[in-house]
Amino acid sequence: MNAVRLLAAALAALALAAPAAAQEKFKVGYLRVMDDAQAILADKADLYARRGVDVELMEFKSGTDLIKAIVGGQLHSGVLGFTNAIAWASRGADLKVVGGAQNGYHAMIVREEAGIEKIADLKGRTIASQKEGSTADTVLKGVVFKQAGLAPADVGIMGVSPQVAVQSLVAKRVDAAFLFEPQASIVKAIAPVKEIYEIGEVWPFPCMVVITSGEVLKTRKDDLWKTLDAQKDAIDMLQQRPEEAARYIAGEFIAEPTLRTLDGKEVPREEIITKAIRTQVFNAALTDKDLARMQEIAAIMQENGSLKTRDGSPFDVNVLLDLSWQEERKL
């Protein structure tokens, strides 16, 4: 009996001494646009690590691909347009919006020689924008065009990535492009173009939000909240110290150390990215005005047929919300 007790004690001691199984890294998805700068900056400036969470940052080419990864369990959270979450949630996906990120910045950039002075002048023209169903596409058709008296069919819309949109505008394959930052600042520096409209000045709305799944909230809530804390730290740096933030993230957007501008000057990429950061409005929390605007966009999506409910009733964005992090942090 003593031998059995000694063996049991030895096994217990070994169990205590054995290292705990390493937990899977917390995977955060992002798009390579300024709207997602806080997710990128938190990684580059080691803000996730300082908050005590081991993050693997994963780039996606579109919000659709990113949301599929969250729904499929390959990703724990992501910063992307909330229209993706609405569309998937309406089909039964267990998704939650847990924080804010960036208020909408989408600029209409036109070729100077095209003779376009206002949005109404785009009738019969071709523009580059984001893919159909994206947040950019939704506000372009449901807000920008509608306010100018245009129908979507009045304009030829090419749905591409922001990078391809810039290339198409520079190569004169399109007359205009509806662009995020930093692509808007980049193309204005390298080509004879001008900005005629920016939706954030006319119709501010919460473009990017932090989205996760209900399962992650149950199983990795502490890590999720640490990533939100780190992204809030990054937003503070973007707002208060944009030059410092640009030094961390400029290489993510401009490969070469300098950018040759239209007048032949070599401008440090950090200077371009600092300007782009300053055009943005970042906010880790969602306000009552943001939530009201989200409901408006849900209505736009239902009107254009991209969002449907089983009984045809208005989609309630509140079913998507879990704002317990910002409530506890008193944001």
How far apart, in Å, do the first and last CA atoms of the chain sit?
A: 61
Strands 26-30 and 55-59: parallel
Pick from 179, 202, 225: which residue ends a domain? 202
CATH number at residue 119: 3.40.190.10
Instruction: State how far the Cα of 23 lies from the Cα of 220, in Å rounded to an integer.
Output: 10
Residue 285: phi, psi to the nearest 5? -105, 155
pLDDT tens digits for range 54-68: 999 999 988 889 999
**18 in any annotated domain:** no
Same-domain pairing of 171 and 30 = no
CA dihedral 73, 78, 81, 85 (to 10 degrees): 30
In the chain, how many domains are there?
A: 2
Same-domain pairing of 54 and 168 = no
pLDDT at 19: 44
Based on its alpha-carbon atoms, the radius of gyration of the chain, rounded to whole angstroms, reads 23
pLDDT at 285: 96
pLDDT band at residue 267 under the 50/70/90 scheme:
very high
Low-confidence winner among 37-46, 57-66, 305-314 (lowest mean pLDDT): 305-314
Instruction: State how far the Cα of 223 lies from the Cα of 26, in Å rounded to an integer.
Output: 7
Task: Yes or no: say if 304 and 143 are a contact pair by the CB < 8 Å rule.
Answer: no
Pick from 202, 218, 236: which residue ends a domain? 202
Same-domain pairing of 62 and 146 = no
Q: Which residue segment(s) compose the domain that 58 sits in?
A: 26-103+206-258+281-328
Averaging pLDDT over each range in 32-36, 43-47, 87-91, which range is the top one? 43-47
